A and B are shown apart, each in its own frame.
Chain A
Amino acid sequence: MSSIAVSLLDCEFDESKCLEADDYQTRVGKWCAGCGDFGALNAVKRLLAKEQLQPEKMAFVSGIGCSSRFPHYVNAYGFHGIHGRALPIATGLKLARPELDVFVVMGDGDCTSIGAGHWIHATRYNPNMTVLLLDNNIYGLTKNQTSPTTPEGYASNTSPRGSVLPALDPLQATLGVSNASFVAQTADWVPAHLYATLQAAYDHNGFSFIRILQRCPKFTPDVFDDAIKNPDHVELLVHADGVDAPGLEKLFKARREHNPKDLDEARALAQRSDLLRLGIFFKDDSFPVYDEIRAVSPVSAEEKINKLEKEFDRYGV
């Protein structure tokens, strides 16, 4: 999605125009202290600075939820829409303005519950955009209700005796959709990995879906504790075409070579619950990209009128 990225060379010519990460933030995020959304915002700011994106040439589209406040804090155009419907808006915007860099930010309720239909279909349309699922396994904004991704048995205000169903796995679901072209998982407590994954998603041409495991300090502070306290319960997916960052090998001993082009293995890995896996599960940029295949060349007003005249000849009496 780097179609209009300002080349880094420009920075060397004019240092004053070079934007720092903080230049991409408009105001302090109004999330609770310790919220994983801050981590995502930091990684995004770093990416924007690294790519030197022009603030007016990108748009952040979100739904409703704590995580969907994201666009307000980014120095870019933003569309904070309605619950579950960020993806149709983003798709329409991308069709209208393919040259813009489009980012989508959704919560787990937003994406995998109320917006589930759009999620499946946007995955299949495969428009060129970077999609962040901030998955805290709970409804944060509405104060602690069970979400589709809440672990079985985990208590909330709507399931005080624990969630009664197995959690929906967004990776398995996305990997099951035809034309899915980029599926990755990362976590707010591994900033280097989060940043590297964002970069890979941004570089991918197509619908780059990243599930970011995100802690909610109020309602799910402990939900990822097992993986946080026991890094050996985490397995990094690595590959020459995957993501990695210096130092990660020290943190996570379990590393698996996984070719992101291997869809069967990606699905098999997503299905296993033995370890928590971070990395790129699947990536293939040879798939049709909706805004590219639906691109139409502009037609001048005169030409349109000429064509309309001919069209009306067909209906002439």
Chain B
Amino acid sequence: MSKKASSKTNITRVPEHTVEIITNSGEGAQKCAQIFGQTCAKMGNGVWTVEIIPAEIEPPHHTVTSTSGNIIRFGTERVSNWGDQSKLAVAFNEQVCLSRHRLGSFDDNCIILQESAWENHEDEAVRDNYAKAMEEMSSKNYRFIQVPIEEETLKLVDNPQLGKNMFALGLLTEIYQRDLAVVEKQIGHIFRHKAASVTEINVELVKHGIAWARKNLGFQFEIESVVAQEARVVMNGNQAAALGAIAAGMEICAMYPITPATSVSHELSDIFENYGGMVHQAEDEIAAAGVALGASYGGKVALTVTSGPGMALKTEFLALAVMVEIPLVVLDVQRGGPSTGLPTKVEQSDLLAALYAQPGDAPRVVLAPRSIEDCFHSMITARRIAETFRCLVIVLTDANLASGVQQFTRPDFDARWQQNPVDVSPLPEGLRPYDWDPETGMSRRVIPGTPSGQHTVTGLAHDEESRVSYDPESNERGCKMRSRKLAVFQSTLMPPPVYGDEKGDLLVVGWGSTQGAIEEAVDRVRAEECKVSSCQLTFLSPLEPDLKKIFGRFKKVMTVEINYSDTVGDPYITEETRRYGQLAWLLRAHTLIDIDCWTSCPGQPLRPKDIYNSIVKNIEIGVSK
């Protein structure tokens, strides 16, 4: 470790820190952050990183819209979410800094290492903008440290655009006492496809940043780490889902590009064929669903990947999958809506659409991974359910999981996950295409090629022989059998665990990616002796068992969700007119309990402190402490 700091160096020990690297897009913040995050993970810290992505591909430089970067939260313990505000930032100009300030991203006492080239720039307009930005930010107690990032970088390279990020990495390496050997290894890995000289110059730049920091900064943070005993991996949720799809034995992914789901198909396109799989980029999301369904009809393990607007287009096909009982897995990486909404940003607002958007009654399984690790394992679970129950399984992740990076226990692959999906043994005499077991609604799947199994599947109402039948009994039987399967599946589920005490004043209920932030907020209120617990749901259709029982042990139940709900007291909004958050809506109907909700849709993951505040407010209004 670069612990050779001079005796004058002021070392502060902290359990965790959140750091931002913010630049114009194209200045390499992602690489710097990737290496830094990987280094922290390798050194045994818990890590969560979040990307800051500008809306356009090439926004004008040195403006508030050009901000591109990364937030890295790391600590001694496991980190499950992006946390609250950043304690330290490296900013390549004051405008990107200002944009983060306006979003409330910095802690009041944030240390900001800022490029010094702008304050006294020869161009008056640049100086003016700088002064205005600094004036606006003076409302907070930020500690600005001017760093000649560009000037120092130019000492080693001709084009500072291709080197400032590594100098910045050097600053962070010194400030956080990172192991230079690990940093060097990561640099080597990232540039492994380039000439060795590229790695060398980048390492030199990092060393130069370390030396500069050591000479000029005089402070360091010490964050202890515990090297994990078990093997671990670190990746983002879309990578985890893509690798999960392969580990689950999936064979075809049909898709149409849509943010933030697309990178799943990038991962797969790169390697899927080595595993006997393929990505089919269809002409639209409807066709993608159709190709996946057609492939599954043929006996392949098929997946289609999309986000909200694409889900809307797939609706008719998803209902067909339910009707013909052909297994299909759909991954919906949720983004902000409605319509094109917030393409790169997080929201949990496809829940009710995932459950109910379809003509007629089309029961399906909907599950929501709660962590990056879950993104991997959910694909295996989803395939298993889809095939066992001949049903549609929708996996709801979101932009937070898609690009968030976290480490998790390296999975043990199981050859059984790769099993051929269909029983191709000869058909028992007289077996019908929908030979529903009246008790369970389950029936054997027959794929083309099976001798004597010929039949025509149809999206029209049909009988056991798959013959079109419009008579009342056939239709009611079909509806019942398709629904019964869900009840059978539900009977295999465990009640969701409660985080905290089994009973108390307030139960916070969340679903999917918000688990980390909710539990962190619950920890904080519990530290203040409040009787608050939380419960994170994974299965949304069918819901996990015993919810009513679990909820009944609390004086008040409240959902926390990243979607819209009305606030009572706003113009026209009363208890009667109020529209609830989507999970709250669902749980109210399911349990007949008067469940409240606290939701927000800022296009960002929830912060523990905001959840904390809403909990505290609810305890104050709703239940006595």
Binding site for B on A (CB under 8 A): 26, 55-61, 64, 71-72, 74-82, 85, 87-97, 99-100, 117-118, 120-121, 294, 296-299, 301-302, 304-305, 307-309, 311-312, 315-317
Binary per-residue interface labels of chain B (249-286) against chain A in the complex, 1 for a CB within 8 Å, 0 otherwise: 10110100000000000000001011111101011101
Q: Is the CB of A92 within 8 A of B294?
A: yes
Closest Cβ–Cβ distance, residue A46 to chain B (whole Å): 19
State which of A61, A72, A92, A317 has its C-beta within 8 Å of the C-beta of B468.
A72
Chosen A-B contacts, 28 in total, with CB atoms closer than 8 Å, are A72-B468, A79-B324, A80-B460, A80-B468, A81-B290, A81-B459, A82-B459, A85-B287, A85-B290, A89-B297, A91-B280, A91-B291, A92-B297, A95-B294, A97-B300, A97-B448, A117-B283, A301-B249, A304-B275, A304-B276, A304-B418, A305-B413, A308-B247, A311-B271, A312-B411, A315-B233, A315-B239, A317-B407
Q: Is the CB of B274 within 8 A of A299?
A: yes
State which of B276, B286, B288, B419 has its C-beta within 8 Å of the C-beta of A298.
B276
Chain B residues within an 8 Å CB radius of A97? 298-300, 448-449
Closest Cβ–Cβ distance, residue A111 to chain B (whole Å): 14
Binary per-residue interface labels of chain B (435-463) against chain A in the complex, 1 for a CB within 8 Å, 0 otherwise: 00000000000001111111111111000
Chain B residues within an 8 Å CB radius of A76? 454
Instruction: Using A59-B448, A82-B316, A92-B290 as known contacts, say yes or no to A72 and B299 having CB atoms under 8 A apart.
Output: no
Closest to A298 in B: B276
Binding site for A on B (CB under 8 A): 38, 41-42, 228, 231-235, 239, 243, 246-247, 249, 251-252, 254, 271, 273-278, 280, 282-284, 286-300, 302, 316-317, 320, 324, 407, 410-411, 413, 415, 418-419, 448-460, 467-468
State which of A64, A95, A100 has its C-beta within 8 Å of the C-beta of B449.
A100
Q: Is the CB of B278 within 8 A of A72?
A: no
Chain A residues within an 8 Å CB radius of B289? 88
State which of A305, A307, A312 has its C-beta within 8 Å of the C-beta of B233.
A312
Instruction: Using A78-B455, A96-B300, A309-B413 as known contacts, say yes or no to A85 and B317 having CB atoms under 8 A apart.
Output: yes
Closest Cβ–Cβ distance, residue A113 to chain B (whole Å): 14
Q: Is the CB of A88 within 8 A of B287?
A: yes
Q: Is the CB of A118 within 8 A of B410?
A: no
Chain B residues within an 8 Å CB radius of A301? 249, 415, 418-419
Closest Cβ–Cβ distance, residue B474 to chain A (whole Å): 15
CA A239 – CA B407 in complex, angstroms? 67
CA A312 – CA B452 in complex, angstroms? 44
Q: Is the CB of A92 within 8 A of B299?
A: no
Closest to B47 in A: A317
Give chain B's interface secondary structure class: mixed
Instruction: Using A71-B456, A91-B291 as known contacts, say yes or no to A316 and B233 having CB atoms under 8 A apart.
Output: yes
Q: Is the CB of B294 within 8 A of A91?
A: yes
Instruction: Using A79-B457, A85-B290, A97-B449 as known contacts, say yes or no to A311 and B297 having CB atoms under 8 A apart.
Output: no
Q: Is the CB of B287 within 8 A of A117?
A: yes
Chain A residues within an 8 Å CB radius of B455? 77-78
Closest Cβ–Cβ distance, residue B372 to chain A (whole Å): 11
Closest to B460 in A: A80
Query: What 6 new A-B contacts, CB under 8 Å, besides A72-B467, A89-B294?
Result: A72-B456, A78-B457, A92-B294, A93-B294, A97-B449, A317-B228
CA A78 – CA B447 in complex, angstroms? 10
Closest Cβ–Cβ distance, residue A84 to chain B (whole Å): 9
Chain B residues within an 8 Å CB radius of A297? 276
State which of B234, B320, B450, B460 has its C-beta within 8 Å of the C-beta of A315.
B234
Closest Cβ–Cβ distance, residue B404 to chain A (whole Å): 14
Closest Cβ–Cβ distance, residue B414 to chain A (whole Å): 8
Chain A residues within an 8 Å CB radius of B317? 82, 85
Chain A residues within an 8 Å CB radius of B235? 315
Closest to A305 in B: B413
Q: Is the CB of A96 within 8 A of B299?
A: yes
Instruction: Using A59-B448, A100-B449, A121-B283 as known contacts, say yes or no to A79 and B276 having CB atoms under 8 A apart.
Output: no
CA A77 – CA B316 in complex, angstroms? 22
Chain B residues within an 8 Å CB radius of A304? 246, 249, 275-276, 418
Closest to B300 in A: A96
Chain B residues within an 8 Å CB radius of A90? 294
Closest Cβ–Cβ distance, residue A310 to chain B (whole Å): 10
Closest Cβ–Cβ distance, residue A225 to chain B (whole Å): 33
CA A99 – CA B300 in complex, angstroms? 14
Q: Is the CB of B231 within 8 A of A316?
A: yes
Q: Is the CB of B246 within 8 A of A82?
A: no
Instruction: Using A82-B320, A88-B291, A296-B276 as known contacts, say yes or no to A317 and B449 having CB atoms under 8 A apart.
Output: no
Instruction: Using A72-B458, A79-B294, A308-B247 as known contacts, say yes or no to A317 and B415 having CB atoms under 8 A apart.
Output: no
Residue from the set A26, A60, A61, A79 with the largest chain B CB neighbour count within 10 Å? A79
Closest Cβ–Cβ distance, residue A257 to chain B (whole Å): 37
Closest Cβ–Cβ distance, residue B418 to chain A (whole Å): 4
CA A77 – CA B454 in complex, angstroms? 5
Closest Cβ–Cβ distance, residue A149 to chain B (whole Å): 22
Closest Cβ–Cβ distance, residue A214 to chain B (whole Å): 20
